[in-house]
């Protein structure tokens, strides 16, 4: 299960705007901080299970959340100590500090506790924290049994997944009000541990959210193989990759999978795959709900001609692997029709160049420029639509880093597209099913196992 599935993902600026809108509607900043701090205290109480807690508080509202939480914990007789770096910087932060009636330990001399709560910096972090701050944080984190971050581990910038310092790994991060991009984008995402959302009762929305499993079409008494979705896989130089994509499309629920190649007698995958010789005309069959092109396609003239025919076919496309190396981003902008691109980091950089922008920004820009849904793959897969909608995935199994898993994903997305999901939903459902199949496969699986596991997760 993905925690926070479907929830909005807000940048620091969007979070401040949501907070400002709530205040314009009558809520006060103090009320918001009280809700945040008390929600955090409840979570800490359960997690600490009676073990002593140390709260490290910063000068802003993240520190304010820490003071409110510490005061609430003390009221509930939970052993808790507080150390603070700097004086509170706002009225609301001063109010929070005034709630704490215990001692505030001197920063550099603070003794660690079994449970560490980092409330030093959150979404307001604007530059690398002073090493004096990070040294204490790391020392206390090293000595703790359980490390809990309030909103974000200190040293993480909120929007792009960037680490501004050497940030220790946390076990749990309590996100206040909304999930932030850096909970999900690497390298920051590997420091946050399990992310839990603390509701502070303000309405949030926007076009970015955590992935969830879309409703998948199910066969009924009137279904037949074409109505379940027909997927054409265009093969090429490396037959095995296309076989994996074809197997995955079938196991993800497609009713008919057509494997188009010009080699005869090469049948590595299931007998249920229909094998025909490739001709450009074979792609124009209007029963085809999705063409998958790229896995094992090669990069020679034959591959180029097949890609041209797929683009000219008018059928919805999943463009992966070698096809992403052959195609020009500019050519896609002029192509009218449904297309989903599935680049990993190298393919993405080849098509769109390198950039300092964040992964979600790069994905959105690429989607708009190519008028495609872009599945920017990796340990932190992000999907963007041309209209700017963005879907973030929590980290999937690291065992996915093996040859052929991308081919399986392309076939899975093809099956979703052919089943009638809209392109963004098809991409989301495909990445979800792929990640869930990987989870079930456990360790050291191979791409063939992953394709086979899709039947069980298709649900
Ligand atoms: N936005 C909301 O709806 C709510 C947010 N809450 C919590 O508030 C923080 C964000 O608070 P903010 O005061 O904006 O920022 P920080 O506490 O992260 O700290 C910023 C503070 O520190 C200064 N600063 C920034 N970078 C550095 C640095 N490298 N070194 C030293 N000082 C630095 C900066 O000038 C500010 O004064 C959010 O994460 C939530 O935890 C509440 O939950 C209520 C609702
Ligand atoms: K923090």
298-302, 319-323, 333-337: the lowest-pLDDT one: 333-337
290 Cβ closer than 6 Å to some ligand 1 atom = no
- Separation of CA 118 and ligand 1 centre (Å): 12
Ligand 1, atom 27, residue with closest C-alpha = 125
Q: How many Å lie between the centroid of ligand 1 and the Cα of residue 122?
A: 5
Nearest residue by C-alpha to atom 41 in ligand 1? 62
Among residues 95, 71, 94, the alpha carbon closest in space to that of 81 is found at 71
Q: Is 293:323 a contact under the CB 8 Å cutoff?
A: yes
* Closest alpha carbon to 8 in 392, 385, 379: 392
Residue 58 beta carbon below 6 angstroms from any ligand 1 atom: yes
- pLDDT tens-digit series, residues 346-374: 999 999 999 999 999 999 999 999 999 99
Band of the pLDDT at 214, cuts 50, 70, 90?
confident
Alpha-carbon distance of 199 to 30, in angstroms, equals: 15
**Separation of alpha carbons 80 and 96, rounded Å:** 16
- Rounded CA gap, 172 and 174, in Å? 7
Helices 91-99 + 29-48 axis angle, to 10:
40
ipTM of model over 0.90: yes
Ligand 1 within 6 A of CB of 61: yes
Segment holding 257, helix H or strand E: strand 256-261
Ligand nearest to C-alpha 204 = 1
**Does the beta carbon of 127 lie inside 6 Å of ligand 1?**
yes
Q: Which residue has the tokens 């597209």?
A: 417
For residue 293, give the nearest of 334, 330, 328, 340 by alpha carbon. 340
What average pLDDT does the segment 300-304 reach?
Answer: 94
**Mean confidence (pLDDT) of the chain:** 95
- Which residue's C-alpha comes closest to atom 21 of ligand 1? 60
Angle at CA 77, nearest 5°, toward 73 and 83? 50
- Answer yes or no: is the C-beta of 59 below 6 A from any ligand 1 atom: yes
- Check residue 82 and give left, alpha or beta (phi > 0: left; psi -120 to 50: alpha): beta
Closest residue by CA, ligand 1 atom 28: 129
State the pLDDT at residue 1: 34
Question: Is it the case that residue 228 has pLDDT exceeding 60?
Answer: yes
User: Residue with the nearest Cα to atom 5 of ligand 1?
Assistant: 61
Residue 5 tokens read as 């599935």
How far does residue 58's CA lie from ligand 1's centre (Å)? Answer: 8
- Comparing 339 with 3, the larger pLDDT belongs to 339
Q: Which of 18, 73, 81, 75 is nearest to 44 (CA)?
A: 73
Contact 368, 386 (CB under 8 A): yes
Q: Which ligand is nearest to the CA of 170?
A: 2
Q: For residue 13, what are the CA distances in angstroms to 37, 123, 244, 277? A: 21, 9, 43, 54
pLDDT band at 281 (very low <50, low <70, confident <90, very high): very high
d(CA 341, CA 317): 8
pTM: 0.95
CA of 128, closest atom in ligand 1: 29
Does the structure show a pLDDT above 60 at 96? yes
* Cα 91 to Cα 448: distance, rounded to the nearest angstrom: 60
Whether pLDDT at 174 is above 90: yes
* Cis, bond preceding 187 (omega within 30 deg of 0): yes
Residue of 323, 325, 318, 321 whose CA lies nearest to 306: 323
Positive or negative, the Cα torsion across 215, 182, 43, 436? positive
Q: Distance, CA 402 to ligand 1 centroid (Å)?
A: 40
Give me the DSSP letters along 310-360: HHHS-S-EEE-HHHHHHS-HHHHHT--S-EEE---HHHHHHHH---SS-HH
Look at residue 249 and tell me whether its pLDDT is greater than 50: yes
pLDDT recorded at residue 2: 41
Take residue 272 and report the two structure tokens written for it.
Answer: 């249920």
Q: How far is the CA of 127 from the centre of ligand 1 (A)?
A: 12
Measured from the CB, is residue 13 less than 6 Å from ligand 1?
no
Domains in the chain: ranges and CATH: 12-209 (3.40.50.10260), 230-457 (3.40.1190.20)
pLDDT digits (tens, 9 = 90+) for 26-72: 999 999 999 999 999 999 999 999 999 999 999 999 999 999 999 99
Output the six-digit token pair for 22: 């709530």
As a whole number, mean pLDDT of residues 293-314 equals: 95
432 within ligand 1 shell (Cβ under 6 A): no
Does the pLDDT at position 21 exceed 70? yes
Distance from the CA of 174 to the center of ligand 1, in angstroms? Answer: 15
Top mutation candidate among 8, 44, 60, 85 for ligand 1, by most atoms within 8 Å of CB: 60
If you take atom 14 of ligand 1, which residue's CA is the nearest one?
A: 124
Question: Does any ligand 1 atom lie closer than 6 A to the CB of residue 15?
Answer: yes
For 380-399, how does the pLDDT look when each residue is reduced to its tens digit (9 = 90+)? 999 999 999 999 999 999 99
Q: Does residue 237 surpass a pLDDT of 90?
A: no
Ligand 1 pocket member 60 (CB < 6 A): yes
What does the pLDDT average to over 175-180?
97
Give the Cα separation of 69 and 61 in Å (integer).
12
Quote the percentage of the chain above a pLDDT of 70. Answer: 98
Tell me, what's the pLDDT at 215? 86
Q: Identify the weakest region by mean pLDDT among 177-181, 275-279, 437-441.
A: 275-279
Mean pLDDT of 96-113: 95
Atom of ligand 1 nearest to the CA of 36: 43
Residue 312: how many other CB atoms lie within 10 Å: 13
- For ligand 1, atom 25: residue with the closest CA: 125
Beta strand pairing status for 382-384 and 390-392? Answer: antiparallel
Average of per-residue pLDDT across 73-83: 97
Cα 164 to middle of ligand 2, angstroms: 13
Angstrom distance (rounded) from CA 389 to CA 166 = 32
> In degrees to the nearest 10, what's the CA dihedral of 128, 131, 134, 135?
170
């Amino acid at each position: 299960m993905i925690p926070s599935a479907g929830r909005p993902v807000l940048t620091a600026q969007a979070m401040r705007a949501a907070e400002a809108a709530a205040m314009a509607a009558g809520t006060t900043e103090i009320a918001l901080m009280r809700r945040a701090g008390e929600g955090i205290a409840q979570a800490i109480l359960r997690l600490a299970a009676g073990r002593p807690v140390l709260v490290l508080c910063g000068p802003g509202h993240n520190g304010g959340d820490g003071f409110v939480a510490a005061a609430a914990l003390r009221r509930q007789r939970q052993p808790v100590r507080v150390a603070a770096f700097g004086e509170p910087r706002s009225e609301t932060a001063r109010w929070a500090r005034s709630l704490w009636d215990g001692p505030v330990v001197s920063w550099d001399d603070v003794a660690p506790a079994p449970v560490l709560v980092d409330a030093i910096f959150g979404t307001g972090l604007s530059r690398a924290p002073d090493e004096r701050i990070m040294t204490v944080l790391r020392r206390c984190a090293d000595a703790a049994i359980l490390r809990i971050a309030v909103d974000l581990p200190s040293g993480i910038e909120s929007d792009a997944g960037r680490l501004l310092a050497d940030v220790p790994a946390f076990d749990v991060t309590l996100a206040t009000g909304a999930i932030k991009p850096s909970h999900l984008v690497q390298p920051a995402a590997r420091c946050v541990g399990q992310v839990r959302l603390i509701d502070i009762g303000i309405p949030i929305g926007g076009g970015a959210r955590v992935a969830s499993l879309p409703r998948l079409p199910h066969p009924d008494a009137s279904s037949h193989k074409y109505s379940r979705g027909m997927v054409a896989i265009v093969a090429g130089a490396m037959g095995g990759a296309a076989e994996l994509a074809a197997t995955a499309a079938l196991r993800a629920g497609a009713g008919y999978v057509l494997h188009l190649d010009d080699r005869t007698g090469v049948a590595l995958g299931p007998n249920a795959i229909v094998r025909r010789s490739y001709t450009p005309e074979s792609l124009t069959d209007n029963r085809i709900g999705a063409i998958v092109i790229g896995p094992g396609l090669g990069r020679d003239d034959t591959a180029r001609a097949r890609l041209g025919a797929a683009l000219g076919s008018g059928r919805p496309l999943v463009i992966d692997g070698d096809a992403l190396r052959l195609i020009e981003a500019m050519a896609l902008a002029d192509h009218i029709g449904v297309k989903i691109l599935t680049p990993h980091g190298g393919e993405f950089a080849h098509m769109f160049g390198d950039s300092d922008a964040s992964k979600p920004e790069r994905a959105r820009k690429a989607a708009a420029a190519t008028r495609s849904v872009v599945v920017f793959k990796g340990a932190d897969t992000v999907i963007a639509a041309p209209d700017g909608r963005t879907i973030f995935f929590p980290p999937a199994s690291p065992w996915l880093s093996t040859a052929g898993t991308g081919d399986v994903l392309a076939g899975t997305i093809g099956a979703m597209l052919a089943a009638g999901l809209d392109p963004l939903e098809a991409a989301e459902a495909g990445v979800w099913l792929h990640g869930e199949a990987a989870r079930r496969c456990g360790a050291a699986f191979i791409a063939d196992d992953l394709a086979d596991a899709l039947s069980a997760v298709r649900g």
